């Protein structure tokens, strides 16, 4: 049986790889085609082109590469139709993936289309669910409150849980001084904008914690850029690309300054208090603020129904704002305790203690394509 999977960024690559591994345990001899990163390729995917070409976020950022992306969309749709898989499984990256699904579904209405990671219609652009239902049959949702929203739009949907609850955690080890995680993101644009601000923030932290250390886990596509942008930081980070070293850093960190995204859940799984910082193109920030339906972008805040994780977005994303909040989280005080409590609630609601989310997702996929 053939399946086509499409992922557009590292978080999607992780989801796709775990799903592929689970699918193979339930149904051997599957063939995988589509687009994915190193993890999906290790599970047997033949990628049409490097996934990193799709790791773009923001309206203003996408526009200069629109023609190239449009060609890649057409190429991917044509390859999917040529393979005629049992299902097309698109993983997050809706700006790319759902355009491919639309072309495929129009050309072959009988081909089953499954989207992994429900779009955040609860955050902005709620009409996306209705439009998505025109070419997506089934949704695999990571968050417990999403299935009713997808079903109301006309799709079937299963809550499968968030993969963060079943990922291995690193081992805690004794160390001197605080360890700060610097997490400027996985896309080149966000790293370029956020790295200088994190560097300035660490300069202010260093005055209070001269024995502090910094770890910066990163991904293949931006590792060289990260090295260039952190050379002038007052606290030189240990740049980490190895997964085991990353898990160890998360397990032992005192606190983190992180870009907005799913990394907040990785930190929550490790009970690591955080500050969320995000600097985007001014046009993108203005448009998203006008369209926003919620007052927070952090999943820990949303799932736990608290606002325990502080955010510094757009114009507020400045070192002089971030540093005092980060310093407060480094102390064993009420703000730190409130965050850790919210993180525990979040992990429970995302499925900690149940079947692995990838296995639940695989069962959901096979139920959709079984005759």
pLDDT tens-digit profile of 101-159? 999 999 999 999 999 999 887 666 777 899 999 999 999 999 999 999 999 999 999 99
Same fold, 2-161+354-369 and 179-349: yes
Residues 181 and 225: their CA atoms lie apart, in Å, by: 18
Segment holding 27, helix H or strand E: none
Note the pLDDT tens digit of each residue in 358-369.
999 999 999 999
Question: What does the buried/exposed string (b/e) look like for 189-213 if buried means 16 or more CB atoms within 10 Å of the residue's CB?
Answer: bbbbbbbbbbbbbbebbbeebeebb
User: What share of the chain in percent tops pLDDT 90?
Assistant: 78
Domain range annotation of the chain = 2-161+354-369, 179-349
Both structure tokens of 305: 């129904």
Residue 158's DSSP bridge partners are: 140
User: What share of the chain in percent tops pLDDT 70?
Assistant: 93
Residues 141 and 134: their CA atoms lie apart, in Å, by: 18
- pLDDT confidence tier of residue 95, bands split at 50, 70 and 90: confident
Mean pLDDT of 60-87: 86
Both structure tokens of 254: 């005192």
The edge-to-edge listing of strands for the beta sheet with 179-183 is: 238-240, 213-217, 179-183, 255-259, 274-278, 311-313
Note the pLDDT tens digit of each residue in 35-64.
999 999 999 999 999 998 886 544 445 566
Question: Residue 221: which residues within 8 A CB-CB, separation 6 or more?
Answer: 10, 52, 55, 186, 188
Both structure tokens of 339: 């965050």
Answer for the pair 12, 41: CB distance below 8 angstroms, yes or no.
Answer: no
* pLDDT attached to residue 294: 72
* pLDDT attached to residue 69: 87
Which CATH architecture group holds 179-349?
Answer: 3-Layer(aba) Sandwich (3.40)
Note the pLDDT tens digit of each residue in 7-24.
998 889 999 999 999 999
H-type helices in the chain, by residue range?
10-26, 38-42, 59-62, 66-83, 94-107, 128-132, 147-153, 188-208, 223-229, 243-252, 263-269, 282-291, 299-304, 319-330, 334-349, 357-369
Which CATH architecture group holds 2-161+354-369?
Answer: 3-Layer(aba) Sandwich (3.40)
Question: Residue 334: which residues within 8 A CB-CB, separation 6 or more?
Answer: none
Check pLDDT > 90 for residue 100: yes
* pLDDT attached to residue 60: 46
Note the pLDDT tens digit of each residue in 317-360.
999 999 999 999 999 899 999 999 999 999 999 999 999 999 99
What is the rounded average pLDDT for all residues in the chain?
A: 92
Residues 350 and 156: their CA atoms lie apart, in Å, by: 20
Check pLDDT > 60 for residue 305: yes
The residue assigned the tokens 């499409």 is 6
Question: Residue 253: which residues within 8 A CB-CB, separation 6 or more?
Answer: 179, 180, 181, 215, 267, 270, 272
The pairing of strands 2-7 and 31-35 is parallel
* pLDDT attached to residue 292: 63
Q: Is residue 359 exposed (0-12), middle (13-18) or buried (19+ Cβ within 10 Å)?
A: buried
């Amino acid at each position: 049986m053939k399946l086509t999977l499409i992922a557009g960024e590292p978080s999607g690559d992780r989801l796709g790889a775990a799903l592929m591994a689970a699918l193979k345990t339930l149904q051997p001899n599957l063939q995988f085609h589509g687009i994915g990163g190193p993890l999906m390729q290790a599970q047997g995917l033949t990628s049409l082109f490097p996934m990193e070409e799709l790791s773009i976020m923001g309206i203003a950022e996408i526009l200069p590469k629109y023609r190239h992306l449009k060609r890649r969309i057409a190429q991917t749709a044509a390859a999917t139709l040529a393979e005629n898989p049992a299902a097309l499984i698109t993983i997050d990256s809706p700006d790319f993936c759902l355009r491919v699904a639309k072309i495929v579904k129009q050309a072959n209405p009988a081909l089953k289309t499954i989207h992994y990671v429900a779009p955040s219609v609860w955050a902005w652009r709620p009409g996306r669910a209705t439009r998505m239902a025109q070419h997506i049959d089934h949704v695999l949702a990571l968050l417990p409150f999403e299935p009713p929203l997808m079903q109301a739009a006309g799709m079937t949907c299963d809550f499968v849980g968030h993969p963060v609850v079943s990922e291995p955690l690193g081992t805690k080890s004794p160390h001197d001084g605080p360890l700060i995680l610097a997490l400027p993101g996985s896309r080149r644009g966000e790293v370029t904008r956020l790295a200088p601000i994190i560097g300035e923030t660490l300069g202010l932290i260093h005055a209070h914690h001269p024995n502090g250390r910094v770890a910066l886990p990163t991904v293949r596509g931006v590792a060289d850029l990260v090295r260039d942008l952190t050379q002038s930081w007052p606290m030189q980070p240990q740049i980490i690309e190895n997964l085991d070293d990353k898990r160890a850093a998360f397990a032992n960190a005192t606190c983190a300054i992180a870009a907005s995204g799913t990394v907040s859940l990785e930190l929550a799984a490790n009970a690591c208090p955080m500050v969320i910082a995000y600097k985007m193109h001014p046009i993108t920030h203005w448009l998203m603020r006008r369209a926003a339906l919620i007052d927070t972008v952090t999943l820990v805040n949303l799932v736990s129904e608290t606002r325990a994780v502080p955010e510094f977005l757009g114009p507020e994303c400045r070192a002089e704002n971030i540093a005092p909040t980060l310093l407060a989280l480094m102390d064993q005080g009420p703000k730190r305790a409130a965050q850790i409590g919210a993180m525990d609630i979040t992990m429970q609601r995302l499925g900690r203690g149940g079947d692995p989310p990838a296995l639940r997702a695989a069962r959901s996929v096979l139920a959709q394509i079984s005759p």
